[in-house]
Amino acid sequence: MKGAIFDLDGVIVDTAKYHYLAWKELAAELGFEFKESDNERLKGVSRMRSLEILLEVGGIDATEEEKQVMAEKKNNRYVEMLQSLDSSELLEGAEAYLRQLKNDGVRISLGSASKNAPLILDKLGIRDLFDAVVDGNSVSKAKPDPEVFLKGAEMLGLAPADCVVFEDSQAGIEAARNAGCGVIAIDVGGILTDADKYVKCLGDLLV
C-alpha cells in the first residue's frame, strides 16, 4: 500500500445520523414518516439519489425544480447540524490510523460522495492529514463508478493497484474493485462482501 483512499461517512465519522435527522424532517414536512431502516439505503449514495429514494418511500412525485428546492432545504438543515461537529465524533481509531499511515510514508486521499466533505474535515480538525481530497464537488459519477477512486489515486500520483480503499458501503466496495484498488471494509453489521479484509473500525488496523 503506497496510497490510502478513505471514504468519509461511516469510515471516519458517523455523519449518517445527521443525514437521517435532516431527511426525516423533510419527510415530516412532506407528510410521511422516514424510518431509520429506510435510511440504510441512503448510505454512500449521492444527495439527489438519496432524495429520490426518500420520495419513493413516501410515494411522492416531484418535478426537477421541486427536487432542487427539497435537496437544498435538507442540506441547509444538515449543514446547520454540522456546525457543532468536533473531533469527539471521530470514529474509533480513525485519527490514530491516519497518523500511523502518515508516519509510514503512505500517501492519503479522501474519496467521498459528500459535497460537505471539506467542512466536515475542518470541523474534525484532520484536514492537514490528507494529501488530496476527492469529494462530491469533484466527481460526476456516483459509486459504484470508479471515478472517485481513480481520481484519488491520480491526485496522489499513484497507480490504483498501489492504493487501498477504506469503505463502509457495498457500492463503495464495488467502486474500489472497478478502479483496480485493494479494499478494506469497515463492516459493523457484518453485511458487506467482496472486500480483501473486514474490520469493525480503523482502530482494528493499528499496530
Give the catalytic positions in this structure: 7, 9
Q: Is 4 helix (H, G, I), strand (E, B) or coil?
A: strand
Which parts of 36-65 interact with Mg ion (CB under 5 A)? 44
Stretch in the footprint of ligand B16 (CB under 6 A) among 29-37, 112-120, 186-194, 199-207: 112-120
Least separation in angstroms between residue 9's CB and Mg ion is: 4
- Peptide bond preceding 160 in cis form (omega within 30 of 0): no
39 vs 6: CA distance, rounded Å: 22
114 vs 122: CA distance, rounded Å: 14
Radius of gyration of the chain, Cα coordinates, nearest whole angstrom: 17
Nearer to ligand B16, 54 or 156 (CB): 54
Nearer to ligand B16, 47 or 151 (CB): 47
Nearer to Mg ion, 104 or 141 (CB): 141
Q: Does 135 contact Mg ion by CB under 5 A?
A: no
Q: Does 13 contact ligand B16 by CB under 6 A?
A: no
Q: Given the C-alpha cell 510514508, which residue does it identify?
A: 105
Task: Using CB under 6 A, pick the residue from 3, 5, 44, 202 that binds ligand B16.
Answer: 44
Q: Is 35 helix (H, G, I), strand (E, B) or coil?
A: coil
